[in-house]
Amino acid sequence: MLDLMRQANRRKWFVAVIILFVVLSFVISIFMIWGGAATRGAGNGAGGWVARVNDIEISVTEVDRVRGQVENQYRQFLREQFDQQAANIDFDQIALRQLLAVNLAYSEAVRLGLKPTGPEVADAIVNAPVFQRNGRFIGREAYLQELRGRGYDVGAYESDVARDLAVDKLRDLLGTMVTVRDDEVEKAFQQDGQTAEVDYAFFKESDYPVSGEPSDKDLQAWYAGHRSSYLNAEKRRAAYVLIERDPIQKSVQVPDTDIKDSYDKNKETMYRNPSRAAPATSSSGRRRTPSPRR
């Protein structure tokens, strides 16, 4: 696995190809196996081929099958607007691009030695939810009947499963090489998820003829008739200085000599106690001691 990662890092174009695939593979994986199976019976070679990725041929039949699934997806998304928008959408090109992407990824996975083994393919088929009944595999005969009933060639279907497993391995390898920051995820989400509604109105220039520049008299008359639109609300301007006492106190150190000098200068005024009467005596003859002055 480390050798594969080193090879991938030396080939920057590999990452670009796989990033393209990751975007499309989630769409393709939904319908690549079961969608439009009725047209698949003749295999990949039926009807000739329209593109070739290394030794992999993409047949007309396969493009037609994927095109039908793409069209259905757009129909579900656009709903009542589909008939109006369909004429502007090239479904054939979209289907072909998706097939090219998945087969490019598979070709690269095979080149890197990620092709699944026979037991891995068999395990994926046995555990596929579509072939499960009451938590168990339906059996080989029922499996073959299921495929034939959907118009699938058994060999072609199992080749698709092998391809999907190889692509999954490639996707996992890519996940160990790419790091996406939180801010990049948030930016992508905002770009894809944010929408805006705009209200607009058309004004014909011919409906508003211009007879020339307004005169000073015209401007004055307009201002007099719209004086309230040019009034400013009452305002105040102020400036202030904020002084935080505690930080200043902590930053100032007063020497003991300065403290003594201040005391000597002000002891006759600030630090002198006023005259006080003699302390009162209680009825028991005890002296009442006044509370200390604070």
pLDDT of residue 124: 93
The reply to whether 189 falls in a domain is: no
pLDDT of residue 53: 81
At residue 8, what is the residue type?
A
Compute the radius of gyration of the chain from its Cα atoms. 42
Q: Residue 142 sits in a domain of what CATH number? A: 1.10.4030
The reply to whether 132 falls in a domain is: yes
SS3 190: helix
Distance, in Å, from the CA atom of 201 to the CA atom of 39, rounded to the nearest integer, reads: 50
What does the pLDDT look like over 234-289, one tens digit per residue? 788 888 888 888 888 888 888 889 888 888 888 877 777 666 555 554 444 444 44
How many structural domains does the chain have? Answer: 1
Distance, in Å, from the CA atom of 137 to the CA atom of 71, rounded to the nearest integer, reads: 33
pLDDT of residue 16: 52
What does the pLDDT look like over 30-64, one tens digit per residue? 334 333 333 343 444 445 778 888 778 888 888 88
Distance of CA 35 to the CA centre of its chain: 29
Selection from 45, 101, 99 nearest residue 70 by Cα: 99
Name the residue range of residue 159's domain. Answer: 2-183
Tell me the range of 42-51, 148-157, 187-196 where mean pLDDT is highest.
148-157
Selection from 87, 28, 88, 30 nearest residue 63 by Cα: 28
Cα–Cα distance list, 284 to 84, 289, 290 (Å): 111, 14, 17
The reply to whether 292 falls in a domain is: no
Confidence of residue 120 (pLDDT cuts 50, 70, 90): very high
Position 102 pLDDT exceeds 90: no
- Average pLDDT score over residue span 218-240: 84
The CA-based diameter of the chain, rounded to the nearest angstrom, is: 129
- Average pLDDT score over residue span 158-187: 85
Distance, in Å, from the CA atom of 101 to the CA atom of 22, rounded to the nearest integer, reads: 9
Distance, in Å, from the CA atom of 59 to the CA atom of 46, rounded to the nearest integer, reads: 7
The reply to whether 72 falls in a domain is: yes
Decide if 287 contacts 279 (C-beta within 8 A). yes
What does the pLDDT look like over 168-182, one tens digit per residue? 998 888 877 777 788
Least confident interval from 5-19, 104-118, 127-141, 246-260: 5-19
- Average pLDDT score over residue span 118-146: 92
Per the DSSP assignment, residues forming a β-bridge with 111 are: none
Confidence of residue 144 (pLDDT cuts 50, 70, 90): very high
The reply to whether 73 falls in a domain is: yes
Tell me the range of 9-13, 104-108, 116-120, 263-267 where mean pLDDT is highest.
116-120
Is 0.75 surpassed by the pTM of this model?
no
The reply to whether 214 falls in a domain is: no
DSSP assignment of 53-113 equals ETTEEEEHHHHHHHHHHHHHHHHHHHGGGHHHHGGG--HHHHHHHHHHHHHHHHHHHHHTT
Distance, in Å, from the CA atom of 182 to the CA atom of 261, rounded to the nearest integer, reads: 63
Per the DSSP assignment, residues forming a β-bridge with 52 are: 57
The reply to whether 288 falls in a domain is: no
The reply to whether 273 falls in a domain is: no
